[in-house]
Structure 1
Amino acid sequence: MSMSDRASNAAEDLKGKAKEGAGKATGDEQLEAEGKMDQLKAGAKDKVEDAKDAVAAKFNEATDKD
């Protein structure tokens, strides 16, 4: 996984946490929900990238490539 993907996912997670916090502070349930959704999307993207890394590692191991 590229570092830019990881940074992008971290930024999306941080944005989600900020939205969720702002929503809680202001009583805006929609903003709070949007923040939680942003965090879930970032987490899902990280899991997909982790799976891609694992597949690539197994492929490299099987073909003796680094």
Structure 2
Amino acid sequence: MRLTEFWQRMDDHFGSGYAESFARDHVMSELGGRTVHQALEAGWEAKEVWRVVCQVMGVPSRLR
């Protein structure tokens, strides 16, 4: 998954304003105690980060 697709999915699910806030502020233990931005900067694959976001936030399977 490319980063552009990742961010599009984030915007589609959370809305463009909240997606950025969530990615910047929400720390998830499933990402090693990181935010989305920190995990991506640490080298996590966008696809893996999206899977964690879906799991933690209960994104419906049809949108995963």
| Higher RCO (Cα < 8 Å, 6 or more apart) | 1
Pairwise same-fold verdict (TM > 0.5) = no
- Relative to its length, the structure with more helix (as a share) is 1
